[in-house]
Amino acid sequence: MNLFCYIPVTILSLGLSITFTSKFGDKFMYQHSMKHQMKCDNYTKSFIIIWLIK
């Protein structure tokens, strides 16, 4: 995860936009998050806590 701290925001946003609009993003990431919303909510809460600490 520390790798994301060193990647410029433009490159990171481009990579994430390509990932989420691809078939991989639809099939695995989006469908998984719809089936496991509680798990995704926990990940989001954890991410926010980590972000606020830094």
For the chain, the structural domain boundaries read 3-53
Query: pTM value?
Result: 0.42
Q: Residue 1: what pLDDT?
A: 57
Name the average pLDDT for the chain. Answer: 80
Q: For 7-44, write each residue's pLDDT tens digit.
A: 888 888 888 888 778 887 777 777 777 777 788 788 88
Comparing C-alpha atoms, which of 35, 14, 31, 13 is closest to residue 23? 31
pLDDT confidence of residue 54: 66
Cβ contact 29:19 at 8 Å = yes
Spatial distance between the Cα atoms of 40 and 1, rounded to a whole number of angstroms: 17
Structure confidence at residue 29 (pLDDT): 73
